[in-house]
Amino acid sequence: MPYKGYGQYCPLALAAEGLCERSTLLVISRVIDGCTRFNEINRGVPKISATLLSQRLSRLEHAGLITRLPLENERGSAYGLTDAGRDLDPIIMSFAAWGQKWSRNRETEDLDPAFLAWSMHTRLNVDAMPETRVVMEFAFTGSQKGLSRFWLVAQNGHVGMCLKYPGYDTDLTISGDIRRSVEAWRGFRDLRREIADGRITVEGPEPYRRALPDWLLLSALTGIERRVGDESRDARAASLARTG
C-alpha cells in the first residue's frame, strides 16, 4: 500500500491523516454547527457528493469523532459529536479564522449563490424578526449560471431555505451582484452602504426594508482582521501597470 497514511506515530501526522482529506473538516464543522441529518450536512458542505459524504461520515464515526443514531420513526440517522469531535471545535474555528485573514479572494466561478443562501439561512437573527412568517427572496446576478433565486422562510424562530418558489407570498425581495453580496456577507463591504447606494436593492414594505440589515447577521468571521499581502501588492502592480 504505497501512499496510504503517513506511517508515523507523530501526533501531528496522526491528526492530519484522519482530518486532512477533502471536505472532512467541512463535514465536522457542519456537525459542530448542529446539523444532524444527512441532507442537512450535505447542503452545508459545498460540492460534496452523497457518495463522498457517506464515506466521510463512516470514517469519522469509526475514528470516534461523530456518533450516528438510527432514527425510530423515520428512515435515516441523526449525527452528533463525541468528545473527541467536540474537542476540534476551537481548532476548526481558528483554522477558519486563519482562512478569513489570509486567503485570497476567489474567482467569480467560486462564488456559489446556493452556498451563500445556505450560509445566510444559518445566520438569520430570528430574535429580531416578527413572530409572523417572513418570506425573503434573494436574486443574485453575475454568477456563472446567470440569475439565481432562493427563498428563506422564517417562522417561529426556525428558518428554511427553498430553491423553488415556496408558495407563500414574498415579503422582501433582495437583489444584487453575487460578488458584492458575498463581500458584504464576509464583512469586506458595508451592507448598509451597498443598500443605500443602490448596489444591493431591497423591495417590500418600509418597516421590513428598514429592519433587514438587522436580520442578516452576516458571516461569523466578519470581525477578523484581513491581511492578504499579495493582493495589495497585486493591486499596486496593476495600478502601476495602468498608470505607467
Partner DNA sequence: CAGTATCCATTTCGATACTG
Partner DNA sequence: CAGTATCGAAATGGATACTG
| Chain residues that interact with DNA, rule: CB under 7 A | 1-4, 21-23, 37-40, 47-52, 54, 57-58, 74-77
Phi/psi for 105 (5° steps) reads: -70, 155
**Minimum CB separation from a second copy for residue 143, in Å?**
12
Using CB under 8 A, which residues numbered 39 to 98 contact a second copy? 46-47, 64, 82-84, 87-88, 90-92, 94-98
**Minimum CB separation from a second copy for residue 156, in Å?**
28
Which of 56/134 has CB closer to a second copy?
Answer: 56
Cβ atoms of 122 and 33 closer than 8 Å:
yes
Which of 37/209 has CB closer to DNA?
Answer: 37
Which of 26/216 has CB closer to DNA?
Answer: 26
Q: Where are the alpha helices (DSSP H) in 45-177?
A: 50-62, 83-86, 89-102, 113-122
217 burial via Cβ count (<10 Å: 0-12, 13-18, 19+): middle
How many CB atoms lie under 10 A from the CB of residue 116? Answer: 21
User: Is 6 near a second copy (CB under 8 A)?
Assistant: yes
User: H/E element holding 226?
Assistant: none
* Cell 448596489 -> residue: 199
The pairing of strands 134-143 and 146-155 is: antiparallel
What does 205 bind: a second copy, DNA, none (CB cut-off 5 to 8 Å by kind)?
Answer: none
How many CB atoms lie under 10 A from the CB of residue 1? Answer: 5
What does 59 bind: a second copy, DNA, none (CB cut-off 5 to 8 Å by kind)?
Answer: none
What does 90 bind: a second copy, DNA, none (CB cut-off 5 to 8 Å by kind)?
Answer: a second copy
Contact stretch for a second copy (CB under 8 A) within 107-115, 128-136, 190-198, 206-214: 107-115
Cα distance between the two ends of the chain:
56
Which positions ≥6 away from 123 have C-beta within 8 Å?
216, 217, 218, 219, 220
Which of 59/86 has CB closer to DNA?
Answer: 59
What is the x/- site pattern for a second copy, positions 139-178, by CB under 8 A?
----------------------------------------
Cβ atoms of 173 and 139 closer than 8 Å:
yes
User: H/E element holding 13?
Assistant: helix 11-19
For 179, the grid coordinates are 460578488
Which of 79/143 has CB closer to a second copy?
Answer: 143
Contact stretch for a second copy (CB under 8 A) within 115-123, 133-141, 164-172, 206-214: 115-123
Contact footprint for a second copy (CB under 8 A): 3, 5-16, 18-26, 29, 46-47, 64, 82-84, 87-88, 90-92, 94-103, 105-106, 109-112, 115-116, 119, 182, 186, 219, 221, 227-230
